[in-house]
Structure 1
């Protein structure tokens, strides 16, 4: 009869410890030390799950994540590609070849972008936007 109680107690202690240490601090230890920023909804939801099951550990999870800054997205995470390299994706008629653009982005940034997705919204640029990047309209 003692073994089931120890098993249940062990599971309960493990669950409480994971909630007390907070989700964001466990999953993203590199985010600690931030003061503010955009809140990561995934971490906020995981902390809120702790509120559903255990009020006090859920509040502690939120408090730890806000105090350490682990609940915020990393600031300044941007990706940039040299505009000269992007010229290869533009055809003579001024239209962009999505396959060439996708290859350039994957090579330069190391990430895959679904440029063939039908939900992708493409907008036309203006001469002012090109001038902002130091480019001349060539079409």
Structure 2
């Protein structure tokens, strides 16, 4: 009995897709290098699916994710910039100069944020929103 080549190809594609989705290192390369933290349930579930279908590759996926640290959730980091420094980026007409803001954030946080990216969504605020936070509008 001969197995059709489409069936073999379909099984091969399904095998490769499940192996690609079973490794957090591929989905979250920015998490590499972490040594501890809370385990990401999504990555753990994808690795577990790999164990269900293919035991050895699933175990390897778990091993790689633990070894690289990609299975851990990223640590909660926050950054704050003093409002006095941010006022330098606001012009006399009340509009924010993205280039000045980007320079301030670069010097204060040490990170370059793509404020000139066309995909950036900017929301306009209102006086009511400022009042809700206990702030006064002043440019």
Q: Give the TM-score normalised by the residue count of structure 1.
A: 0.55
Alignment of 1:61-80 (within 5 A): 61=60, 63=62, 65=65, 70-80=70-80
In 1, are the aligned partners of 2:40 and 2:73 still within 8 Å (CA)? yes
Distance 1:61 1:97, change over 3 A: same
Residue number in structure 2 paired with 1:106? 106
Alignment of 1:85-124 (within 5 A): 85-124=85-124
Residue number in structure 2 paired with 1:6? none
Q: In angstroms, what is the RMSD of aligned CA positions?
A: 3.7
Task: State the SS of the aligned residue for 1:116.
Answer: coil
Alignment of 1:1-139 (within 5 A): 28-32=32-36, 34-36=37-39, 51=50, 55-61=54-60, 63=62, 65=65, 70-127=70-127, 129-131=129-131, 135-139=135-139
In 1, are the aligned partners of 2:39 and 2:72 still within 8 Å (CA)? yes
C-alpha distance after superposition, 1:68-103 (max 9, x if no partner): x75133231222211221010001110000110010
The aligned length equals 106
Distance 1:121 1:96, change over 3 A: same
Q: Moved runs in structure 1, 4+ residues, more than 6 A?
A: none
Q: Give the TM-score normalised by the residue count of structure 2.
A: 0.55
> Gaps spanning 5+ residues in structure 2: where?
1-22, 26-30
> Gaps spanning 5+ residues in structure 1: where?
1-21
Residues in 1 aligned to 2:42 and 2:80: alpha-carbon distance in whole angstroms: 23
